[in-house]
Structure 1
Amino acid sequence: MFKNTEQHNKNDIELKGVPSESITQISWSPTANHLACSSWDGTINVWDPFSSVDMIGKYDFQSPILCNKWNGAGTQIFCGDCSNNVHVWDVVSNQTQLVGKHNAPVKCMFFTKELGSEILITGSWDKTIRYWDFRQQEAAAVVELPERLYTMDYSYPVLLAGCASNELIIYDLNEPTKEYKRFQSPLSRQIRTTSLFKERDGVFIGSIDGRCSVKYFEEKTKSKKTFQFKCHHQKNNVYPINEISVNPEYGTFSTCGGDGRFFFWCKISKSKLGSSCQFENPICCSQYNKDGNIFAYSIGYDWHQGSHIYKNSTKKVRLCLHEMESKELFKDK
C-alpha cells in the first residue's frame, strides 16, 4: 500500500554517555532541545546535544524505569519505575521526591496543565489510570481499566488507553474519570504502541506482528476510512512495532521496530516518506523534538524474544539523532 523510498543514516549523530541497559522511553523538553531517556538500568539521563556541555545530568533510581515525561517548564522530569513508584526529579537542584505509588509497575505517564492545575496522569499494569494533583498526597482520582495498561497517549482533551485485552478506551478530559468510548483494536495481534493523530480524530496502532492500523474514530468521509498495513516484515519474519511517533508540526508519523529499522509515513497520501538502514539491534523507542525537525531513536534489546536471548555483549545501547529532511516531513503534491 505504501510506496518505497531510499534509505540513509550516515549523517545521524550518536550521543555519548548512554545507559548500560536498553532505553525504555525518550522525551524532549517542551521548552528547549534537551533530551531525556529512561532505562532498564534504573537511570534517567539528560542531554543538551547542541551545546559543548552535552550531558546535563543523570540520576539513578535503583529500579528499572519504564516511562518519563518533562513538566511544562522543562525543569523537572517525572518517571515511573518497576517498584510501582512515581518520582519527580528536579534537574536544576538535583533533588527527587516521591509523587505516589501504584500497585504494579508504572508503564505510561503524561503531564498536563489543561485541567485547572498541574496534573500528572499515570497508567500502570495494576489496571488503573491515576491523576496526581501536587497539592495533595493521594491520587486525586483513580480510573479502573479492564486489563493491564500497555500503552497510552494524550493530547488535550483526549486521553487514550490501550490494554492487554486489545481494547482501546477514550477519555474526554473535560470529564477525566468518565469513559467516553471503547473499541476493539482493528489488529488481530496484541497491541504494543499507540499514538494519537495530530488532529486528535484518530489513532495509529502498532502490534507485535509488525502491522500498523490507521484508525479514525469517526469514519464520516471516504478519505477518513480506517486501514492497516505491514511495515516491519522481512520475508517470512515479522517484528514488533515498538513505538509510533507523530510529528508535532506536520502530523506525519514514524514507526520503529524489532527489525532494527524505522520508517516515516504519511497517512493522507498513504505513502512511505523515508526509511533507515537496518541496524544491528532493534530500535526500542523514538520521539520527535518540539519543532518536529529532529528525530531521536534508541537501539538496544527490546525483549520481544524473551530473557533467554538477551546477552549484554551483543546488545550495545545506542542513542542517535536524525535531522529531518523535507521529503521525510511531508508528501509533495
Structure 2
Amino acid sequence: MDNPEYKAIRYEVRCWEIHQSGTNLASQPKAAISHDHPVLCSTWKEDGTTVFSGGCDKQVKMWPLGGQPVTVAMHDAPITEIAWIPEMSLLVTGSWDKTLKYWDVRQPNPVHTQQLPERCYALSVRYPLMVVGTADRNLVVFNLQNPQTEFKRIVSPLKYQTRCVAAFPDQQGFLVGSIEGRVGVHHLDEQQQNKNFTFKCHREGSEIYSVNSLNFHPVHHTFTTAGSDGSFNFWDKDSKQRLKAMSRCNQPIPCSTFNNDGSIFAYAVCYDWSKGAENHNPATAKNYIFLHLPQEAEVKSKPRVNTGGKR
C-alpha cells in the first residue's frame, strides 16, 4: 500500500565543510548522496577523500567526494558498523546477519567473512586491535595481524546491552558502554586486570540513560561519553576522574566524534527512538549537529586525587 508520508522520507549522507576563525565556526553544505533505507553508519578514508556509508539497505556505498557513489559491500541484514583500516587497505563491515566481512573495495566479493556469536552492535579499530560488541553482551577481540582468528572473547563487564565500544589509543584495552548508564574500562593483559573498573554516568536520580557514544581525544587520550540524557562528559580513565560535565541538551545525543586533531568535538542531537515511534513528535523533535571547541582543561588529564572512596 502506498504511503505518501513514507515516500517523503529521504535517507541521505551529507558532507559539510567547517571553517574556523579563532573561536568562531561556520559550516557550509558541500554534497549529499541518498540511500534507499535508513543509514546506520559511516566512516572516512584516512586521506579525507572518500566516505563510506551503510545501513538498512544491507549495502555499503563508497563515495569519492566530487564523484558518484558505488556499492562496495553487501550483507544479508542491515549493516550497523563499518571501519576503514588504512594499514590493510581494507574496509570491515559488521551486520545483524552475525558476520564481519573484510573488503578490498576494488573487488566485488569479501576477502574474508568472519562469523560472530551474535548480531553486531558496535565496533572499534586501533590497528592491530579491533573490538566488536554483539548482542548477548559478547565482546570479541581481534588481532588484525591475524584477522581470521578470534584473539579473545569475553562477556561484557556490564549487565545490560552493549551500545558502544572504543579501543584504547595504545591498543592495550577498550571501553564499553551500555544502555544502563555505565561504562566499563577493560585491559587485555592478564597482568593488568586489577586496573579494570566500571563507573556510572548519564543518570539523573532514578532515571538511567543509555551511553551511546565513546570517543578518545586524539592528542590527550582522555575520552568522552555521550548519552540519551542529552549530555556529554569528558573523562580520564587513568586518574578515574570526570574532567568536565557539559550542560544537557533537550534531546538525546545518539552519536559524536572528534576531528583528527581533537580541536573540534561534533555531536548530533535528535530523538533516539528508545521510547518508540509513539513518543516521536516531528513538530518539536528537530535534528541538529553541534560543534564544541574543547578547552585544554576539559580534555587534558589531571593527577589523581585520592579521597579514599570507591566509585
Tell me by how many angstroms 1:260 deviates: 0.6
Q: TM-score, normalising length from structure 2?
A: 0.90
Q: Which has the higher contact order (CA 8 A, sep 6+)?
A: 1
Q: Contact 2:33 / 2:69 at 8 angstroms: preserved in 1?
A: no
Q: 2:62 aligns with which of 85, 88, 98?
A: 88
Whole-angstrom distance in 1 between the partners of 2:287 and 2:231: 15
Gaps of 5+ in 1: 1-39
Verify: 1:49 aligned to 2:18, yes or no.
yes
Displacement, 1:149? 0.3
CA RMSD of aligned residues (A): 1.5
How many Å separate the matches in 1 of 2:302 and 2:149? Answer: 41
Is this contact kept in 2: 1:219–1:225, CA < 8 A? no
Residue 113 (structure 1) aligned with residue 86 (structure 2): yes
Q: What does residue 298 of structure 1 align with? A: 268
Q: Residue 326 in 1 paired to residue 293 in 2? A: no
> Secondary structure at the residue paired with 2:254?
strand
Indicate the residue corresponding to 1:24 in structure 2: none
Q: Which residue does the alignment assign to 2:3?
A: none
On the 8 A contact 1:104/1:126 being kept in 2, the answer is yes
**How far is the alpha carbon of 1:100 from its aligned partner?**
2.2
TM-score (norm 1): 0.84
Matched-pair contact (CA < 8 Å) for 1:121–1:131: yes
Whole-angstrom CA distance in 2 between matches of 1:313 and 1:253:
34
Q: Alpha-carbon deviation of 1:114?
A: 1.2
Q: Report the Cα distance in structure 2 between the residues aligned to 1:157 and 1:41, rounded to whole angstroms.
A: 37
- 2:53: which partner in 1? 79
SS in 1 for 2:251: coil
The alignment status of 1:215 with 2:215, answered yes or no, reads no
**Deviations 1:81-127, CA, capped at 9 Å, x for gaps:** 2010111112122x011112100000001112212xx2110000100
Q: What is the CA distance between 1:58 and its match in structure 2?
A: 1.3
Report whether the alignment pairs 1:316 with 2:286. Answer: yes
Runs of 4+ deviating beyond 4 Å: none
Alignment map for 1:214-253 (pairs within 5 Å) = 214-221=185-192, 225-253=195-223
The partner residue of 2:130 within 159, 184, 190 is: 159
Q: Say if 1:69 and 1:78, in contact at 8 Å, map to a contact too.
A: yes
Alignment of 1:52-201 (within 5 A): 54-93=28-67, 95-115=68-88, 118-201=89-172
Give the C-alpha shift of residue 314 in structure 1.
2.2
How far did 1:41 drift? 4.4
Q: For 2:225 and 2:161, locate their aligned partners in 1 and report how far apart those are by CA, in whole Å.
A: 16
Of 227, 246, 249, 1:276 maps to: 246
Q: List alignment gaps of at least 5 residues for structure 2.
A: 1-8, 21-25, 304-311
Structure 1, 58-67 or 290-299: larger mean CA deviation: 58-67
Q: How many residues get paired?
A: 290
SS in 1 for 2:69: strand
